[in-house]
Copies of this chain bind each other. A is one copy, B any other.
Amino acid sequence: MAIPRAAKTQRRTRIQEEKEEQILEAALDVFSVSGFRGSTIDQIAEVAGMSKPNLLYYFRTKEAMHRALIDRVLFTWLEPLRAFNAQGNPESEIRGYIRRKLEMARDFPRESRLFANEVLQGAPHIEDELKGPLKELVDEKAAVIRSWAKAGKIVKCDPYHLIFSIWSTTQHYADFDVQVRAVLGQGQSGEGRFEDAARFLEQLFVDGLSVRTNQPAS
């Protein structure tokens, strides 16, 4: 008599590790394009190269798959913001944060779109994460930015909207990739485009936030 579900076993077998990996990889492919409602288990099963009941052997429901995916991706996704260092130099910290976020948009566009789809559709599955861990992390980093502004190291500005603007400008290149490509044309794609975006954004934020020498902060 088989144990009802893989999840019930104490130790995960090699096969379980492999298949769950395989499934989540396929699920990321599908969910990131079509969102939760727009995706079907059949699609994911086909991408994963296994039958639907087999897939449902590892994840009981579509929701369970989606949740496992979100949980796995969320931690990594917040890494750049977590790396934001209060002791560091404001200009290089902001520059570094932009670059790391931009690299993630380039290297993990599916992860970005997964969240974008979810938030766009009202975040029905990740509301708790947004109001909990995410908000706490942002609050913490916002305090850092505010202290920099108070100390005259950067111009006075709303730290929350600063963070929003860095999120939106960088993730734009993952989430709206089709549009960006349509507007820029075939000409330059890939690395060239990435460097242009990085140069522009660093210029925008560094110049836009530095204290102007002809209008001293003090």
Q: Report which A residues bind B (CB closer than 8 A).
A: 33-38, 113, 116-117, 119-123, 127, 130-131, 134-135, 138, 155, 157-158, 160-162, 164-165, 167-169, 171-173, 175-176, 178-180, 182-185, 196-197, 199-201, 203-205, 207-209, 212-214
Q: Point out the residue from B131, B138, B155, B199 that lies within 8 Å of A207, measured CB to CB.
A: B155
**Residue of B whose beta carbon sits closest to that of A135:** B183
- Tell me, rounded to whole Å, the shortest Cβ–Cβ distance linking A77 to chain B: 12
Q: Is the interface of A mostly helix, strand, loop or mixed?
A: helix
| This chain's copy number in the assembly | 2
A172 touches B178 (CB 8 A): no
CB contacts (< 8 Å) of A200 on chain B: these are 157-158, 161-162, 165
Q: Are A204 and B168 in contact (CB under 8 A)?
A: no
Within 8 Å CB of A138, what residues of B?
Answer: 183
Q: Which residues of B contact A127 (CB under 8 A)?
A: 178, 182
With a cutoff of 8 Å between Cβ atoms, the chain B residues found around residue A205 in the complex are 204, 208
- Residues in B with CB closer than 8 Å to A121 are 33-35, 38, 117
Contact with A35, one of B34, B173, B175, B197 (Cβ below 8 angstroms): B34
A176 touching B168 by the CB < 8 A rule?
yes
The residue of chain B having its C-beta at the shortest distance from the C-beta of A129 within the complex is B182
Which of B113, B117, B130, B168 makes the CB contact (< 8 A) with A183? B130
In the bound complex, what is the Cα–Cα distance between A160 and B205 (angstroms)?
16
Q: How far is the CA of A180 from the CA of B212 in the complex (A)?
A: 29
A133 and B67 alpha carbons, distance in the complex (Å)? 39
**27 A–B pairs (Cβ distance < 8 Å), ordered by A:** A33-B122, A38-B38, A38-B121, A122-B178, A123-B179, A130-B178, A130-B182, A134-B183, A135-B182, A135-B183, A135-B185, A138-B183, A155-B203, A164-B169, A164-B173, A164-B176, A164-B183, A165-B172, A167-B176, A168-B168, A168-B169, A204-B204, A204-B205, A205-B208, A212-B213, A213-B214, A214-B214
